[in-house]
């Protein structure tokens, strides 16, 4: 149980284009999902908390107009990187917390974004 | 944001050796989690700890929630090649967010 999927697993795009990443909880409903960013050889950095039916909560320093988050249903959250630039190239990982659990988050496999 | 201090930063061991790593914080947590991340993958939850002093095992893995609630350790016994990866601790207190450690990279020398 507690399986989270992400799509796509990798994407290469041109500078200035927008990229959408999907995160799905496959066997549970998640009112809260989380989006992280990870640079090579570094830990996970939380970007935002995605809440079903309401606005996402962004961490300090994360531009909400650049990283658009939509949590449209209890099993799907999307992250759109708008007007992507090479410095946005990174590994983006989502996670979801089953409603029966207080702390545990289950992670998707990640999406490798490369902006040319 | 805040990160937890993990040590060692990296370990080079031989197959069959035991491994020990720890995680320390300046603030207390109610829950400690240990994750393993393989290259190019998302972290996978290994063990969850809910009470100060709690000792929990998952196969060859054993983790403890420190009495002060500011630290935790993870032991791996009789390491095997598939144990290679990066191990992250994470603490949780009150709000929704997890605070992650800096990671311990485990490499097995052939």
Yes or no: say if B91 and B32 are a contact pair by the CB < 8 Å rule.
Answer: yes
pLDDT in tens, B40-53: 999 999 999 999 99
Q: How far apart are the first and last CA of chain B?
A: 37
The β-bridge relationship of strands B85-92 and B31-37 is antiparallel
Q: Nearest Cα to A18, choosing from A58, A67, A57? A: A67
Three-state DSSP at B71 gives strand
Mean pLDDT of the residues in chain A: 94
Contact A110 B40 (CB under 8 A): yes
Chain B hits for A46, CB-CB cut-off 8 Å, are 1, 97-98
Supply the pLDDT for residue A43: 94
- Locate B72 and state its tokens: 């935790």
Residue B94 pLDDT more than 70? yes
SS (H, E, C) chain A: CCCEEEECCEEEECCCCCEEEEEEECCCCCCEEEEEEECCCCCCEEEEEEECCCCCEECCCCCCCCEEEEEEECCEEEEEECCCCHHHCEEEEEEECCCCCCCCCEECCCEEEEEC
Q: How far apart are the first and last CA of chain A?
A: 37
- Locate A8 and state its tokens: 């796509």
Chain A hits for B48, CB-CB cut-off 8 Å, are 103-104
Supply the pLDDT for residue B1: 59
A residues 18-47 near B, CB within 8 Å? Answer: 32, 34, 42-46
Residue B108 pLDDT more than 90? yes
pLDDT in tens, A32-67: 999 999 999 899 999 999 988 888 999 999 999 999
Contact B1 A46 (CB under 8 A): yes
Contact B100 A110 (CB under 8 A): no
**Nearest chain B Cα to A38, which residue?**
B42
Residue A15 pLDDT more than 70? yes
Q: Which of A59, A95, A109 sits opposite B41 (nearest CB)?
A: A109
**Nearest chain A Cα to B10, which residue?**
A41
Average pLDDT over residues A96-113: 93
* Bridge partners, residue B91, by sequence: B32, B99
- Residue B70 burial by Cβ neighbours in a 10 Å radius (0-12, 13-18, 19+): middle
Supply the pLDDT for residue A56: 93
Residue A72 pLDDT more than 90? no
Question: Cβ atoms within 10 A of the Cβ of B25, count?
Answer: 22
**Nearest chain B Cα to A91, which residue?**
B40
Contact B3 A108 (CB under 8 A): no
């Amino acid at each position: 149980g507690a399986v989270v999927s992400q799509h796509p697993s990798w994407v290469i795009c041109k500078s200035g284009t927008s990229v959408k990443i999907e995160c799905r909880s496959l066997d549970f409903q998640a009112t809260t999902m989380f989006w992280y960013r990870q640079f090579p050889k570094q830990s996970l950095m939380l970007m935002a908390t995605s809440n079903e039916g309401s606005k996402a909560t962004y961490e300090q320093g994360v531009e909400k107009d650049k990283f658009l988050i939509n949590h449209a249903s209890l099993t799907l959250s999307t992250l759109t990187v708008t007007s992507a630039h090479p410095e946005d190239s990174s590994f983006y990982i989502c996670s979801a917390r089953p409603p029966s659990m207080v702390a545990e988050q289950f992670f998707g496999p990640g999406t490798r974004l490369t902006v040319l | 944001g805040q990160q937890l201090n993990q040590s060692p930063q990296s370990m080079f061991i031989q197959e069959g050796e035991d491994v020990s790593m720890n995680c320390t914080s300046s603030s207390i947590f109610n829950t400690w989690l240990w994750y393993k991340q393989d290259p190019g993958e998302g972290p996978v939850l290994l063990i969850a700890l809910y009470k100060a002093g709690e000792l929990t095992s998952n196969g060859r893995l054993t983790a403890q929630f420190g009495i002060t609630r500011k630290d935790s350790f993870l032991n791996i016994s009789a390491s095997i090649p598939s144990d290679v990866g990066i191990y992250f601790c994470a603490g949780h207190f009150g709000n929704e967010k997890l605070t992650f450690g800096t990671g311990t990279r485990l490499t097995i020398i052939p």
